[in-house]
Structure 1
Amino acid sequence: MLDPFIYLVSGVLKLWHLLLNSVLGLDDSTAWVLALIGLVVTVRGLIAPFSWMQMRTARTSVIMRPELAALNAEYADRTDKESVAEHERRRKELSRRYNHRPAAGCVPMLIQIPVFIGLYRTVLQMARPSENLEVAPDTRIGFLNAEEITAFLNAEIRGIPLPAYLSMPQEMLAQLGTTRDEVRGFILPIVILAVIFTTANLAGSIYRNLETLDWESSLARGTQKMLIGMTVLVPFLLLSLTFFGPIPVAIVLYWFANNLWTLVQTALIRVVVSRKMPLDDDYRREHRATREKVRGELRERRTQKWDVRRRQAAGAVQPWKIPEIRRELQAERVQQREKTAAEKARRKEIARAKQEARSQLTKERLEANRRKRQEKKARSSNQPAEPAASDEPDRGPSATD
């Protein structure tokens, strides 16, 4: 399942190594280290245009959000076929006017995750081609042959082998010509810097999201909370993987370079997007108003929950009031359930009616396209065929015959 990713990463590494070692004449160790940096340059260079599109698309969706919200509110309760068709048409016009392409935001992640998976599997197999670090003549990892794998096993940076990692058995580290203390002393500052870059990237995402968060979306609020949690947990997770997991020095170097590139690239794109597509004062006012409205609703819900808990606690102090408190709470629950069920049924009915209208519109479009094809076919079949060059009328015998 992971073979395509391994072939992709190993192919890029091999091309960079051949360029640096065979063409430019660098030694194997330097060539392999720079090949890892070349992999970062290749991958990030490929997805840089998509990263720009991703941030531009996100900013576009933020700028058009007030108009889209007003449009959706205008057609929220209109379920007739004409209104549904007009709503779809106006939404498409709005997207075209802002040149909004939401699918572009998924491309960087779709490229970067497979590459990192392929890199991890490739480097891990290169670091441990066998139990005793011996490379058989017929060993292959993706596009890399046994000779190139052996060269990678012997590659070093400042005396530390690229395939070494902290949880590697001491005997294997000795075979590579190093010790756990030497590996730890080399990768510790690099890992700390990589963690700082990663945390800075996550913190920047949190700040950008707060500036443009859709407060009325519970999914957006939940995603923001998850991102804050990740900012706290990810550094500990990465440090744990480095010290206790099979994370070779080569992957640590790639991780360091990749996160540094991401931090700089994101900052530059952020500056350009903010200048080209600034958020105006009207948006900021509406954003603050929506935030305060949602926060007020959330505070009201918390107040109601604490009121229920307060009355339940009062029943423990005044047991004779427990039946009355239970009746009150039960009545409030029933009333709230009925209200929620009625609102849910209303929304469900509106959604069902709109879906039926969309189905009718789709059938009408298909029928119209079918009629057009039939009319086009009928017109083409009714056109008289042009006479060929050999189909000239017989003019009888010539004068010379």
Structure 2
Amino acid sequence: MLDFLYYPVSAVMWFWHQVFGLVLGPSNGVAWALSVVFLVLTLRALMIKPVLSQMRSAQKMRRLAPHIAELRKKHGKDRVKLAEETQKLHREHGVSPLGSFLPALVQVPVFIALLHVLRYFNRPGLSFEQNAALPNYVFGPDEVRSFLEARLFGAPLSSYIAMPQNLLDSFGAHVDRWHVVVVAVPLILAAAVATHVTARWSQRRQQLDPATPGAGIMKLFPWLFPLGVVAGGLFFAFPIAILVYWLTGNAWTLAQQHLITKKLDREEAALPPVVAVAESARGPKPGQKPVAPRPGAKPVTRTHVAPKQAAPKQAAQHPARKEAAPKQAAQKQAARKPGSPRSKPVRTAGTGQA
């Protein structure tokens, strides 16, 4: 049913096994483990662009935090209105709170396909020889036998802790369950810790808003994912090769997040600050009567106005006026004294009138 996933995943793994098998030997357990590791690296390298888009979206969410806090103050009692306004704000700025989990969701089909391919190397109900005689998608019978004979620190790569004893015995008398436990348990613990650190770091960078639908469940993801790894490794059919896949994927994620975060921080430092909330959107001060805005009036933002400086004296503004000021004062003073020649009326030329 999912052959469109099984064949590509098995083809990538086959290619890397051919590369490492030439150097280490086709049945070497390290060669097979490295083929799983580089399968992860190949798939994750193809996902760098969507991961970068997701982390940019999370960066926008952090920049919108003051706006969301303002909406929370305004609609704190109306949870439905708060959720509507928050979603509207997210749409206006082109961000999605659920976008940070899309890369992880894309990996789920790949994980299912790899689990299916690895389990088909050792199919339940068949003996070692029967499995070694059957192909496994792009792997031929000889390559299936090579995988079944591969050991990683003494444990078969296709084995798991809860494997039935009859299947475990099919690997040979030199393989014991304790060989599987000694190799699988450290891988399970390391994969669980890496999963927790990766999910927690991603959630802290995203700063998920509590008003977002499903935010409460998302906060549990850093704990649910590691528990899934532990349960799958201890009680379900998670082969050692799957644990290698899981550990490699989380190690890649930690390194990728560290490098991309530095890049995004440099981009954010060059961005202008987010526009402040308009003053008309703020509530009135305590005791102040709210005033309805006029129709068509633009929202006014609160700005700082510098104090107005006192204008200089008029006499000091222009040099000509500064020189004429003493003469004008003397004329006014002479006009007030009776009998002064300057106080006599001056005849206007050509009129004969005073």
TM-score of the two chains, using structure 1 as the length reference? 0.56
Q: In structure 2, give the amino acid aligned to 1:58.
A: A
For residues 198 and 136 of structure 1, the distance between their equivalents in structure 2, rounded to whole angstroms, comes to 33
Residues 170 and 179, structure 1, Cα contact 8 Å, conserved in 2: no
For residues 191 and 279 of structure 1, the distance between their equivalents in structure 2, rounded to whole angstroms, comes to 42
Shift of 1:280: 8.7
Give unpaired runs (5+ residues) of structure 2.
Answer: 71-87, 278-354
Structure 1 counterpart of 2:328: none
Residues 167 and 246, structure 1, Cα contact 8 Å, conserved in 2: yes
Residues 127 and 153, structure 1, Cα contact 8 Å, conserved in 2: yes
For residues 137 and 162 of structure 1, the distance between their equivalents in structure 2, rounded to whole angstroms, comes to 15
Structure 2 counterpart of 1:116: 111
For residues 127 and 195 of structure 2, the distance between their equivalents in structure 1, rounded to whole angstroms, comes to 35
Q: CA 1:130–1:18 in 2, change beyond 3 Å: closer, same or farther?
A: farther
Residues 27 and 146, structure 2, Cα contact 8 Å, conserved in 1: yes
Shift of 1:240: 1.9
Residues 154 and 161, structure 1, Cα contact 8 Å, conserved in 2: yes
Shift of 1:104: 8.1
For residues 169 and 229 of structure 1, the distance between their equivalents in structure 2, rounded to whole angstroms, comes to 33
Q: CA 1:69–1:26 in 2, change beyond 3 Å: closer, same or farther?
A: same
Of 167, 171, 180, 1:172 maps to 167
Structure 2 counterpart of 1:147: 142
Residues 131 and 144, structure 2, Cα contact 8 Å, conserved in 1: no
How much identity, in percent, do the aligned residues show?
A: 28
RMSD: 3.6
For residues 281 and 181 of structure 1, the distance between their equivalents in structure 2, rounded to whole angstroms, comes to 60
For residues 166 and 200 of structure 2, the distance between their equivalents in structure 1, rounded to whole angstroms, comes to 41
Residues 187 and 244, structure 2, Cα contact 8 Å, conserved in 1: yes
Shift of 1:191: 1.2
Structure 2 counterpart of 1:26: 25
Q: CA 1:35–1:129 in 2, change beyond 3 Å: closer, same or farther?
A: farther
Shift of 1:171: 2.7
**How does 1:205-220 map onto structure 2 within 5 Å?**
205-210=202-207, 213-215=208-210, 217-219=211-213
Q: In structure 1, give the amino acid aligned to 2:45.
A: G
Of 182, 185, 188, 1:191 maps to 188
2:121 equivalent to 1:126: yes
For residues 139 and 193 of structure 2, the distance between their equivalents in structure 1, rounded to whole angstroms, comes to 33
**How does 1:2-401 map onto structure 2 within 5 Å?**
2-22=2-22, 24=23, 26-29=25-28, 30-63=30-63, 108-109=103-104, 111-128=106-123, 130-135=125-130, 139-176=134-171, 177-210=174-207, 213-215=208-210, 217-219=211-213, 222-223=214-215, 225-278=216-269
Q: Secondary structure at the match of 2:57?
A: helix
Return the structure number with greater relative CO, CA threshold 8 A, min gap 6. 1
For residues 183 and 171 of structure 1, the distance between their equivalents in structure 2, rounded to whole angstroms, comes to 15
Q: Secondary structure at the match of 1:134?
A: helix
Shift of 1:7: 0.8
Shift of 1:173: 1.6
Shift of 1:5: 1.4
Q: Secondary structure at the match of 1:28?
A: coil
For residues 248 and 53 of structure 1, the distance between their equivalents in structure 2, rounded to whole angstroms, comes to 33
Q: CA 1:187–1:42 in 2, change beyond 3 Å: closer, same or farther?
A: same
Q: Secondary structure at the match of 1:135?
A: helix
For residues 56 and 138 of structure 2, the distance between their equivalents in structure 1, rounded to whole angstroms, comes to 37
| Higher share of residues assigned helix | 1
Give unpaired runs (5+ residues) of structure 1.
Answer: 71-87, 287-401
Q: In structure 1, give the amino acid aligned to 2:248.
A: A
Q: In structure 2, give the amino acid aligned to 1:63.
A: R
Structure 1 residue ranges, 4+ long, deviating more than 3 angstroms after superposition: 24-27, 60-70, 100-107, 135-138, 278-283
For residues 61 and 95 of structure 2, the distance between their equivalents in structure 1, rounded to whole angstroms, comes to 9
